[in-house]
Amino acid sequence: MPIPSRPLRKLGFLTIGLFDRADPRAGHESTLEIIRLGEDLGFDSAWVRHRHLQYGISSPVAVLAAASQRTSRIELGTAVIPLGWENPLRLAEDLATVDVLSGGRLNPGVSVGPPMHYDTVRDALYPDTGDAEDFSYRRVERLLDLVAGKPASDFRGIEGFEEFSERVEPHATGLRDRMWYGGATLRSAQWAGEHGMNLLTSSVVKAEEDEDFAAVQVSHVRAFRARHPQGEQARVSQGLVVIPTDGASRDQRARYAAYAEKRTPRTRGPQGPARLMFAPDLVGTAEQIAEQLYVHAAFREVDEVAFALPFSFEHDDYVQILTDMATRLGPALGWRPRAA
């Protein structure tokens, strides 16, 4: 196994939080149990995806509020909240509230752009302002300013028996420094660096300057840090789909291999008009996965990861995968679990 230039500093995981239409509570409870297990195993962070009008987590801030009361140490992140669906002022209030409840453990990841299938949801989402909504980076800037405590109102003082603040309350000290941008393009990476955010890189990028996934991801990381005030110290987290099989049963290993094989064709070149590129799922023993990661050019650029759990597995599968990540793969990458 290659010797890493530096050990992995932070190990996290990402889940979509699937649930059954007829019994949504069970899926949400499973997600909360997985997050608590992650803390018990010593993971540094747990992240949830965001899905609107699907059978995945539609309200990650609410889910993480619940998770904050079942855990005490693990960092809680969103990867990512699509801001096209959000009012930045209201979202800033929700994020600050959960950050306060969690003791300063929230790591909100966001992205911009029109909502998915906007033509089909515009009348429900923005019936009066659909044509005027700004889905540009300005929406992120508004959120960042509000989270940082900049004025949201020109009134502060007493009115009758009530006291009013000019800023979002509660104010969560330090939350602005824990804001992440989920970028799949070179411009997004540059923009996030210029605005002092942290960068989430996932298993999807756009084939703009190359058709090699790792090369594209490396260009994003380097462009981000070149424009970030903290330079090489700026935080970047990589989120590949990783499935260790050390503790898996024969049936689990067969299902994991079939899952990855079904998704492999899309990794062989840019997909669709957007020229999206997908990283292959990494399936195998911890030693095999570590070897693949050590030769992955983008992995060598980072010292923290949030490995993505597969979309459609069972609760027991996630328990096995997380356990192998924490007890086998993490240590193979030089990581050590955090104490309770």
Half-sphere exposure of 139 toward its Cβ, with a 13 Å CA cutoff?
A: 22
**CA angle, 12 then 14 then 16, to 5°:** 165
pLDDT digits (tens, 9 = 90+) for 207-235: 998 899 999 999 999 999 999 999 999 99
User: Looking at the predicted structure, is the pLDDT value of residue 4 above 60?
Assistant: no
Name the pairing type of β-strands 204-206 and 276-278: antiparallel
DSSP H helical segments within the chain, as ranges?
Answer: 24-41, 60-68, 88-102, 118-125, 138-148, 186-194, 213-227, 250-263, 286-294, 315-324, 330-332
3.40.50.1000, 2.30.130.40, 3.20.20.140, 3.20.20.30: which CATH number matches 10-332?
A: 3.20.20.30
Query: Mean of the pLDDT values across residues 277-290?
Result: 97
* pLDDT score for 193: 98
Q: What are phi and psi of 244, to 5 degrees?
A: -75, 145
Query: Mean of the pLDDT values across residues 120-128?
Result: 97
* pLDDT score for 209: 84
- Considering the chain, what percentage of its residues have pLDDT values greater than 70? 98
Q: Coil, strand or helix: which one is 157?
A: strand
Q: Coil, strand or helix: which one is 274?
A: coil
DSSP lists the bridge partners of residue 20 as 23
* pLDDT score for 182: 97
* pLDDT score for 1: 38
* Separation CA 91–CA 112 (nearest Å): 14
* Separation CA 267–CA 214 (nearest Å): 12
User: Looking at the predicted structure, is the pLDDT value of residue 3 above 70?
Assistant: no
Q: Are 63 and 56 in contact (CB under 8 A)?
A: no
User: Looking at the predicted structure, is the pLDDT value of residue 169 above 90?
Assistant: yes
Q: Where are the domains of the chain?
A: 10-332
Mean pLDDT for the chain?
A: 96
4 CB-near residues (< 8 Å, 6+ apart): 294, 333, 334
Query: Mean of the pLDDT values across residues 297-325?
Result: 96
